[in-house]
């Protein structure tokens, strides 16, 4: 690599704007760290007339991605557009032309990571994607570097800051005695007003974003290829302010967690779902638009990463870290990427966990059979609360097999008079 590194940015939105800002602000620092000057030669966007947060010279701004790929002076392509296509094809094309690629795109890396990683290896170029999981947190780099000599046993993370903001906002609302029933809708609206949630929030609130990130994180932590479909996914749309109220009463926090663990039979189980955690757990302190990843390994024992999970500068920090890595080590190791090794995954059904169950019944008589079953299962029942439309009660179960619990839930839910909410506990 010469003293000057030519860059092509695909995208100049939130992350692209942050990258351009840091490249400019920290140019001397980057030179000191790498001995190289980074020159932005192309910035590819959709709309040339859109106002930009940072001035981009007109000769650099283009809608023509091919111009960037064909430029022999470009050695690194930064894909900061998002979405599956054309991002995936652009990354493929850049790699085929012998360019290094940095991407912040979890969707592409979760769905097409295997093919692209192999292509980069064949082409003897680097493909780095630190910003695709948990924004500024250097978790992927740590797993492949300083922590690589550990056998990882468990990874638990808050990897979607939009849902973390919404759940915190619901918690705040119930603490302030605002109506619990409308807490979710109000929190989502606030997240949208503040720009934390998109107009269509499906990917965040239904857990897809966290599912993609979990597939990537699990692959690198456990050195096993993890198909996205094998990651169990449940979002936060069914949660009510009542659950946050009960969580507070139980001295717990409610978070959308990404959890991956190696089971005693060797299979890998990865899942995303709302989870009640003790308030003493480090992840409870992860508030608002922050992310956190807590992990266990057989050497370091346990470790906790905490920081901004999104935003222009925070995400750009991870992208620039990848750029420095490429400038220092432009050739990949002559090794097959160990994270692509095949292995078995297990469905959530085989896990044994404790559960929080919150049920509502119109009267005592309809609540009693459910209470009887819960008592026979050894659950701890909390005193019922009389509400205008019936009785509400919460129980915490002892460890139960997920498949048994789901069968039981389906049976309870057949009784139309009952509503039963179920949330897993972190063991
Ligand atoms: N935002 C965050 O905090 C964050 C955090 C971590 C990771 N990420 C990831 O970073 C990536 C970018 O996110 P973002 O928030 O920066 O998105 P964004 O603000 O919507 O910006 C996307 C940029 O890509 C350009 N673009 C989109 N489709 C294009 C196409 N077909 N051809 C050419 N240019 C195209 C857009 O051009 P115009 O400007 O002309 O519309 C825009 O400049 C995504 O993969 C996202 O998941 C984002």
pLDDT, tens only, 221-236? 999 999 999 999 999 9
What is the structure's pLDDT at 166?
A: 97
224 CA from centroid of ligand 1 (Å): 29
Confidence check: pLDDT of 176 > 80: yes
Catalytic residue among 36, 99, 106, 213: 213
Mutate to test the pocket of ligand 1, among 80, 194, 288 (most ligand atoms within 8 A of CB): 80
Mean pLDDT of the 276-281 span: 96
The whole-chain average pLDDT of the chain stands at 96
What is the structure's pLDDT at 289?
A: 81
Confidence check: pLDDT of 424 > 80: yes
Q: Answer yes or no: is the C-beta of 309 below 6 A from any ligand 1 atom.
A: no
Mean pLDDT of the 111-115 span: 97
Rounded Cα gap, residues 277 and 192, in angstroms: 26
CA distance readout (Å), 131 to 243, 255, 271, 291, 394 = 32, 22, 21, 12, 40
Rounded Cα gap, residues 67 and 62, in angstroms: 8
Q: Answer yes or no: is the C-beta of 310 below 6 A from any ligand 1 atom.
A: yes
- Residues 145/139, Cβ–Cβ less than 8 Å: no
> Which residue owns the Cα nearest ligand 1 atom 9?
104
Give the predicted TM-score (pTM) of the model: 0.97
Q: Answer yes or no: is the C-beta of 80 below 6 A from any ligand 1 atom.
A: yes
Task: List the Cα angle 338/309/191 in 5-degree steps.
Answer: 140
Mean pLDDT of the 310-317 span: 94
From the list 46, 66, 11, 17, the residue with the least C-alpha distance to 314 is 17
Q: How many CB atoms lie within 10 A of CB 223?
A: 19
Rounded Cα gap, residues 10 and 99, in angstroms: 13
47 CA from centroid of ligand 1 (Å): 12
Residue pointed to by tokens 């008079």: 417
Q: How many residues does the chain have?
A: 427
Percent of the chain with pLDDT over 70: 100
pLDDT, tens only, 75-109? 999 999 999 999 999 999 999 999 999 999 999 99
- Specify the CATH superfamily of domain 142-308: Dihydrodipicolinate Reductase; domain 2 (3.30.360.10)
Residue pointed to by tokens 């690629």: 101
CA distance readout (Å), 203 to 209, 225, 312, 314, 421 = 5, 22, 19, 21, 22
Q: Tell me the domain boundaries of the chain.
A: 4-135+315-340, 142-308, 351-425
Confidence check: pLDDT of 335 > 80: yes
Residue 350 DSSP class: G
Residue 7's pLDDT band (boundaries 50, 70, 90)?
very high
CATH of 4-135+315-340, one of 3.40.190.10, 3.90.1150.10, 3.40.50.720, 1.10.3720.10: 3.40.50.720
pLDDT, tens only, 30-51? 999 999 999 999 999 999 999 9
What is the structure's pLDDT at 417?
A: 85
Mutate to test the pocket of ligand 1, among 11, 107, 133, 319 (most ligand atoms within 8 A of CB): 11
Percent of the chain with pLDDT over 90: 93
Q: Answer yes or no: is the C-beta of 50 below 6 A from any ligand 1 atom.
A: yes
What is the structure's pLDDT at 416?
A: 77
What is the structure's pLDDT at 288?
A: 84
Q: Answer yes or no: is the C-beta of 14 below 6 A from any ligand 1 atom.
A: yes
CATH number of 351-425: 3.30.70.600
Mean pLDDT of the 397-413 span: 96
37 CA from centroid of ligand 1 (Å): 25
What is the structure's pLDDT at 1?
A: 66
Q: Answer yes or no: is the C-beta of 135 below 6 A from any ligand 1 atom.
A: yes
From the list 178, 176, 167, 248, the residue with the least C-alpha distance to 204 is 167
213 is catalytic: yes
pLDDT, tens only, 318-333? 999 999 999 999 999 8
Confidence check: pLDDT of 207 > 80: yes
Mutate to test the pocket of ligand 1, among 21, 82, 108, 159 (most ligand atoms within 8 A of CB): 82
Q: Answer yes or no: is the C-beta of 105 below 6 A from any ligand 1 atom.
A: yes
């Amino acid at each position: 690599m010469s003293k000057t590194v030519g860059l092509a940015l695909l995208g100049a939105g939130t992350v692209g704007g942050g990258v351009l800002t840091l490249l400019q602000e920290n140019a001397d620092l980057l030179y000191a760290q790498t001995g190289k000057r980074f020159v932005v030669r192309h910035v590819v966007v959709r709309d040339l007339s859109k106002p930009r947060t940072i001035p981009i010279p007109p000769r650099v701004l283009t809608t023509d991605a091919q111009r960037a790929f064909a430029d022999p002076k470009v050695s690194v392509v930064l894909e900061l557009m998002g979405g599956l296509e054309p991002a995936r094809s652009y990354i493929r094309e850049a790699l085929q032309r012998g360019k290094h690629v940095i991407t912040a795109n979890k969707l592409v890396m979760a769905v097409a990571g295997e093919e692209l990683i192999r292509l980069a290896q064949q082409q003897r170029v680097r493909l780095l994607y630190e910003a695709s999981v948990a924004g500024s947190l250097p978790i992927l780099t740590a797993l492949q570097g300083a922590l690589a000599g550990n056998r990882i046993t468990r990874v638990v993370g808050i990897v979607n800051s939009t849902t973390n903001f919404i759940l915190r906002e619901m918690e705040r609302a119930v603490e302030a005695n605002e109506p619990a029933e409308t807490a979710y809708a109000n929190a989502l609206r606030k997240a949208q007003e503040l720009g934390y949630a998109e107009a269509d929030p499906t990917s965040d609130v239904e857990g897809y974003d966290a599912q993609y990130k979990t597939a990537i994180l699990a692959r690198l932590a456990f050195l096993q290829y993890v198909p996205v479909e094998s990651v169990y996914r449940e979002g936060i749309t069914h949660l009510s302010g009542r659950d946050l109220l009960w969580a507070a009463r139980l001295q717990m926090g409610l978070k959308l967690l990404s959890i991956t663990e190696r089971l005693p039979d060797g299979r890998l189980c990865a899942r995303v779902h709302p989870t009640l955690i003790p308030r003493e757990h480090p992840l409870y302190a992860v508030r608002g638009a922050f992310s956190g990843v807590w992990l266990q390994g057989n050497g370091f024992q346990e470790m906790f990463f905490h920081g901004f999970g999104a935003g222009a500068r925070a995400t750009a920090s991870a992208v620039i870290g990848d750029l420095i890595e490429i400038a220092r080590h432009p050739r990949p190791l002559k090794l097959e990427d160990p994270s692509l090794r095949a292995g078995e995954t297990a469905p959530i059904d085989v896990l044994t966990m404790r559960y929080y169950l919150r049920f509502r019944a119109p009267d005592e008589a309809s609540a009693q059979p459910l209470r009887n079953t819960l008592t026979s299962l050894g659950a701890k029942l909390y005193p019922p609360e009389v509400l205008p439309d019936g009785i509400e009660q919460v129980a915490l179960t002892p460890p139960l097999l997920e498949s048994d619990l789901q069968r039981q839930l389906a049976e309870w839910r057949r009784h139309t008079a009952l509503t039963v909410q179920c949330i897993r506990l972190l063991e």
